[in-house]
């Protein structure tokens, strides 16, 4: 029996894009015209259009979400390894007096080529409101202007800030997780490897949300193509931007750059993992394989494969029943820190 799209997810896509939802988001919402008419298709290698599409799409989604008023935000800056000033945004539940609290160091999505912290404010506030666990989100530098491993080392600098300021922030440095979605999931997974290789501050869990793990995933399976909100062309574009045209897909890529390159030996000693991915996601198979290798290495891994949903389903349909179930599983994983 062929794959089918979750009816609630399909209904939301229909409202956003019209009767035949496209694989790509609109450039901007329009008044009196279906958003699909504002669509700009992106060719392989077209970074700027993807950035414009993602900025506008996430801006549209955020404009439709109710404000979260009981979470505070505070901005800090820390230096990256090359001296660059990195923005770190600290999210805490309003009125919370933290002492020995767990915390999450978060890398946002966007394929490592697009988006900024501001587009994730409402998402992060939802996690903090539901769990009471504070989050530090890192404004890492994007590819192709900055190649790997900058995205990982920038996030590592944010993690170091969180650990070194744990006492004043009310955080237990032994109860910190790394977390990210999509391209941010790529960073979080590679960061776990980077910490292991460099004897960095240990983290208690890696929380990977439909993570982008493998630079060799450059084609879209035919049975996923009708549902692909991020397809092989997008992935080829992003990974080429991150690794460089001369390296992407090559034999010398390390798991600190693309985590799917890990061997079972590489996986030994990594922190336990929580991972979720949709059945209709381009990243499904590489995620399942990553979880398999973690298990072979003796690393505890909680894996959720949600049926009939594509990449990013929880972002554009957060109130769908499958999205609510997904968030509850993530909340539980965060509370367990």
The dihedral sign for the CA sequence 162, 168, 173, 175: negative
Q: Among the listed ranges 16-20, 165-169, 186-190, which one has the minimum average pLDDT value?
A: 16-20
> In this structure, what token pair is assigned to residue 87?
């923005």
Mean pLDDT of 219-244: 97
The chain-wide mean pLDDT, for the chain, equals 93
Q: Which residue range forms the structural domain that includes residue 198?
A: 73-335
Q: Has residue 22 got a pLDDT over 50? A: no
CA-to-CA separations, 46 to 5, 58, 111, 113, 223, in angstroms, rounded = 28, 19, 13, 11, 25
pLDDT at 42 (0 to 100): 76
pLDDT at 16 (0 to 100): 82
Q: Edge-to-edge strand order for the sheet containing 85-93?
A: 71-79, 85-93, 135-138, 101-107, 171-181, 205-209, 273-278, 301-306
Q: Has residue 39 got a pLDDT over 60? A: no
User: What is the rounded distance in angstroms from the CA atom of residue 150 to the CA atom of residue 82?
Assistant: 10
The total number of structural domains in the chain stands at 1
pLDDT at 55 (0 to 100): 94
Residue 266 lies in a domain: yes
Q: Has residue 30 got a pLDDT over 70? A: no
CA-to-CA separations, 320 to 125, 132, 316, in angstroms, rounded = 19, 23, 9
pLDDT at 104 (0 to 100): 98
Residue 209 lies in a domain: yes
Residue 228 lies in a domain: yes
* Biggest CA-to-CA distance, the chain: 57
Residue 190 lies in a domain: yes
Q: Has residue 47 got a pLDDT over 60? A: yes
pLDDT at 64 (0 to 100): 87
| Chain-centre distance for alpha carbon 282 | 14
Place of tokens 């587009």: 119
pLDDT at 15 (0 to 100): 87
**pTM (predicted TM-score):** 0.94
Residue 54 lies in a domain: no
Residue 243 lies in a domain: yes
Residue 44 lies in a domain: no
The more confidently predicted of residues 29 and 139 is 139
Percent of the chain with pLDDT over 90: 87
Mean pLDDT of 54-74: 92
Mean pLDDT of 150-163: 98
List the CATH number of the domain containing 267: 3.40.50.1820
**How would DSSP label each residue in 268-306?**
TTPPPEEEEEETT-TTHHHHHHHHHHHHHTT--EEEEEE
Name the 3-class secondary structure at 257.
coil
Catalytic residue IDs: 182, 281, 311
Residue 20 lies in a domain: no
Q: Has residue 20 got a pLDDT over 80? A: no
* Other CB atoms within 10 Å distance of the CB of residue 62: 16
149 upstream amide cis, omega within 30 of 0? yes
pLDDT at 23 (0 to 100): 47
Residue 33 — very low, low, confident or very high, per pLDDT cuts 50/70/90? Answer: very low
236-269 tens-digit pLDDT:
999 999 999 999 999 999 999 999 999 999 999 9
């Amino acid at each position: 029996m062929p794959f089918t799209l979750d009816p609630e997810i399909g209904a939301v896509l229909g409202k956003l894009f019209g009767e035949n939802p496209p694989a790509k988001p609109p450039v901007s919402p329009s008044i009196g015209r279906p958003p699909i008419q504002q669509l700009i298709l992106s060719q392989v290698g077209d970074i700027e259009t993807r950035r414009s599409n993602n900025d506008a799409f996430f801006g549209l989604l955020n404009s439709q979400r109710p404000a979260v008023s009981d979470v505070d935000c505070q901005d800090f800056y820390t230096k990256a390894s090359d001296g660059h000033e990195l923005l770190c945004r600290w999210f805490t539940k309003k009125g919370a007096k933290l002492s020995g609290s767990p915390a999450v160091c978060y890398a946002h999505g966007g394929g490592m080529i697009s988006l900024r912290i501001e587009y994730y404010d409402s998402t992060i506030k939802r996690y903090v409101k539901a769990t009471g666990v504070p989050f530090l989100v890192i404004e890492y530098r994007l590819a192709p202007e900055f190649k790997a491993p900058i995205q990982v080392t920038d996030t590592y600098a944010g993690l170091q800030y969180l650990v070194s300021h744990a006492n004043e922030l009310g955080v237990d440095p032994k109860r910190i997780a790394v977390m990210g979605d999509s391209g941010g999931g790529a960073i979080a997974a590679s960061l776990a490897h980077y910490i292991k290789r460099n004897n960095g501050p240990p983290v208690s869990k890696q929380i990977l949300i439909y993570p982008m793990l493998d630079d060799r995933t450059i084609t879209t399976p035919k049975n996923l193509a009708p549902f692909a909100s991020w397809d092989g062309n997008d992935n080829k574009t992003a990974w080429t931007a991150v690794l460089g045209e001369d390296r992407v897909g090559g034999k010398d890529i390390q798991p600190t750059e693309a985590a799917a390159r890990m061997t079972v030996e590489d996986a030994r000693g990594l922190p336990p993992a929580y991972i979720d991915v949709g059945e209709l996601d381009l990243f499904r198979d590489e995620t399942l394989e990553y979880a398999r290798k973690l298990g072979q290495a003796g690393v505890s891994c909680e894996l959720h494969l949600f049926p009939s949903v594509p990449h990013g389903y929880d972002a554009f349909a957060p109130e769908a029943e499958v999205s609510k179930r997904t968030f509850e599983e993530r909340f539980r994983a965060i509370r367990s820190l």
